Amino acid sequence: MKVRLKVFDPTLFWLGLAASAVGLLVIFDAGFARSLSSGHGTIPREFLIQLGLLPVALAISMAVAGASWEGWRRWSILLWLATLLLLGLVMVPGIGFQMNGAHRWIKLGPLLFQPAEFAKVTALLYLAGALAGRKTWPSRIRPARGLADWLDRVAMPKLLRGLPAVWILLGAALIALEPDLGTAFIILVAGIAIMIAGRVTWKSLVALFLIGVIGVAGLIKQQPYRMDRIVHHAQRWNDENMDDVGFQSVQSELAMASGGLTGVGIGAGRAKQIMPAITSDFANVTPAEEFGLVGELILLGLLAAITFRLLRFARAAQQPFARLILIGVGSWIGVQTCMNVMMANGTLPSVGIPYPFVSSGGSSLIALWAALGLCQACVAPSPRKEEARVPGRDRWRHRRARLSSA
């Protein structure tokens, strides 16, 4: 598969770059106070890592865009299988890296990367490849003549059609066991968006939903702290919870409320001095506190513009695979943005979902830009249009007609 650096839609590229640049400013502003207090200087370590990885993410994005979407469709199954392998390896001692009780990373020398973030890309790629071009299930099926005939014509074809959903559920289950329910939920929601666009029957969607409910119930039973977190979130303003399990949510709400319309001023925020996840999951808090509702709406506007541009391209896409990819990535960015904001303002409990392009995290940044590169490949002009633009191909056709000398 030939790869070249390419950008087909400059607007989408510049919107992503603007969001990433704002993210760098947010990470610096949110992290410098803690960096100073810990004796590491003015420049936060998270900022330096994000700044160093941004050119890498851009190069990967343009390389992904330079390959044809047909090529990515051919590689989709292999990439998803490789992702499942990596998701399994995070649990292997000596390969997986544990932090704060979670097995979410693989360590390669001094580098850590999070396979679950890349699973967002490969899951959508695999699901779009599996559903694109698949024929609609017939509304009427000839009655089976017996059990063998029913198994051959109905049961087995149905089972094979449902395998992509099973593989996605397997990936989501591995991510939930890390534990990382937030990322698993994002993959499932974006996957359901692709299934709806791919004309999966409502019966299959309902069955998938019931399986998901049973799975979540099993995870809660296995680790009851998840239910405790939900219960305590509803009681986060109680005296016994404000400085304990409800600390992050309470401080986040206070900071966003104190920002008002225009904020308390750059550098004057209080939350960044006391909240531990202020550059990652709660990166949204500092701009809301220091720039108020105006700053928050500008940041949301950037991410909304990316989301709606992807959905607009999806509506105009001629190829089913390209349309499904654009819908999946647009749903991913839109839903993740909404969930992070709802987590910051206290609507949802803390579920560990980063703010797209803004929160610190190299794996998240690279995965997002790889997804934008994939979308760039999906909005690339068709080969016929490219052929029509070859310089000199029709140069005589467009010249002024000359009178015959006869």
Residue 204 lies in a domain: yes
pLDDT of res. 189: 92
pLDDT of res. 149: 65
95 versus 64: the higher-pLDDT residue is 64
**Residue 371: both structure tokens together:** 């997804």
Q: Mean pLDDT across the stretch 347-366?
A: 91
Cα separation, 106 vs 141, whole angstroms = 48
Residue 364 lies in a domain: no
Q: Mean pLDDT across the stretch 215-244?
A: 77
- Distance between terminal CA atoms of the chain? 54
User: In 16-152, which ranges are E strands?
Assistant: 96-99, 102-108, 111-113
Residue 69 lies in a domain: no
**What is the chain's mean pLDDT, rounded?**
85
Of 83, 280, 88, the residue nearest 178 (C-alpha): 88
- SS3 at position 209: helix
pLDDT of res. 110: 75
At 7, the pLDDT band (50, 70, 90 cuts) reads: confident
pLDDT of res. 1: 55
pLDDT of res. 256: 93
pLDDT of res. 370: 97
Cα separation, 378 vs 398, whole angstroms = 31
Residue 403 lies in a domain: no
Q: Mean pLDDT across the stretch 44-71?
A: 94
Cα separation, 127 vs 197, whole angstroms = 11
Residue 343 lies in a domain: yes
Residue 200 lies in a domain: yes
Q: Are strands 102-108 and 111-113 parallel, antiparallel or unpaired?
A: antiparallel
Mean pLDDT lowest for which of 17-21, 113-117, 152-156, 239-243? 152-156
Tally of structural domains, the chain:
1
Residue 164 has pLDDT above 60, yes or no: yes
Q: Mean pLDDT across the stretch 219-232?
A: 72
Q: Measured in whole angstroms, how far is the alpha carbon of residue 209 from the centre of its chain?
A: 20
Read off the pLDDT of residues 299-344 as tens digits, 9 standing for 90 and up.
999 999 999 999 999 999 989 999 999 999 999 999 999 999 999 9
Q: Mean pLDDT across the stretch 104-120?
A: 87
Q: CA separation (Å) from 214 to 173, 211, 220?
A: 12, 5, 10
**Residue 146: both structure tokens together:** 């017996």
User: What is the C-alpha radius of gyration for the chain, rounded to an integer number of angstroms?
Assistant: 24
pLDDT of res. 98: 82
Read off the pLDDT of residues 116-126 as tens digits, 9 standing for 90 and up.
999 999 999 99
pLDDT of res. 371: 97
pLDDT of res. 143: 73
Residue 335 lies in a domain: yes
pLDDT of res. 2: 56
Residue range(s) defining the domain that contains residue 238: 82-134+159-359
pLDDT of res. 396: 39
pLDDT of res. 402: 43
Of 191, 134, 128, the residue nearest 378 (C-alpha): 128
Residue 373 lies in a domain: no
Residue 25 has pLDDT above 90, yes or no: yes
